[in-house]
Amino acid sequence: MHIPDGLMYPATAAATGVVGAGAVAYALKKSREELDEKRIPVVGLTAAFIFAAQMVTVPVAGGTSAHLLGGTMAGIMFGPWVGTLVVSVVYLVQAVGFADGGITALGANILCMGVLPAVGGYYFFRALTGLLPRTRVAYLGSVAVTSWLSIVAASALASVFIAIGGPLPLAAFPIMIGIHALVGVLEAVISTSVIAAVLSTRPDLLANKDRLPSSVPAPIREEAA
């Protein structure tokens, strides 16, 4: 899903760059307020895991690619803005160090693959779990649904950015969204598996503590609060 250089007109790249930079600045501010010592190592490990998972890509069209995102997983685990910061750092390293995604398209990539999954996914997950019973199945099912929906929405947003600012044919967009609908199944499986493991071992590290299943031991939940 990385948008390379040259697929967006300069005005689109500049506008998304400004908005993306603002989102990262706000995410950095919020992360300083929210992160504590016990969560920092887990955040670092999650960033490394997302980085490694994203290195496996499938070419789609016009230089774009399909791959896992991890933004929704990070948002659900750590909150919307810490999650945004985690994946934004990953995209910055990939763009600068590995030429994976364009420098001029970095803002658009952060908005598509970072802000939308981490922030949008976080609040969609909260809305979904607020409607469902407080059970482990409902909690993890909400992770799966949110992860799948977020990657499809992210591919659609990337398509919009390219459509309003570049030469890629409109016929390529259904292909991009369709491939990510398939990739989203794997994204849902991986995100759900990771969060299930954390839920079983260290639920105190998770955000959305008021959405944890009622079966989570009370002492751990109280300690986390």
Rounded to an integer, what is the distance from CA 204 to the centroid of its chain? 21
Q: Is the pLDDT of residue 145 over 80?
A: yes
Helix, strand counts (H, E) of the chain: 9, 2
CA–CA distance, 112 with 204 (Å, rounded to integer): 29
Residues in the chain: 225
- pLDDT number for residue 64: 56
Compute the distance between CA of residue 181 and CA of residue 18 in angstroms, rounded to an integer. Answer: 29
The pLDDT score that the predictor gives to residue 168 is 60
pLDDT at position 124 over 60: yes
pLDDT at 176: 77
So what's the pLDDT on residue 222?
42
Block residue for tokens 């290195």:
55
For residue 18, pLDDT beyond 90: yes
Provide the percentage of residues in the chain whose pLDDT is more than 70.
85
- Give the pLDDT confidence of 27-73 residue by residue, as tens digits: 999 998 888 777 888 888 888 888 877 776 666 555 555 667 888 99
For residues 117-134, average pLDDT: 94
Axis crossing angle, helix 136-165 with helix 172-201, rounded to the nearest 10:
150
Looking at residue 219, what is its pLDDT? 43
Amino acid at 110: I
CATH of 10-224, one of 1.10.10.10, 1.10.1760.20, 1.10.10.410, 3.30.750.80: 1.10.1760.20
Q: Which helix (H) or strand (E) holds 162?
A: helix 136-165
pLDDT-above-90 percentage for the chain: 38
Longest pairwise C-alpha distance within the chain? 57
Residue 195, pLDDT > 80, answer yes
User: Six-digit token pair at 42?
Assistant: 């887990």
User: Taking 70 as the threshold, does the pLDDT of residue 172 lie above it?
Assistant: no
- 1: confidence class by pLDDT, cuts 50, 70, 90: low
Q: 58 - beta bridge partners?
A: 66
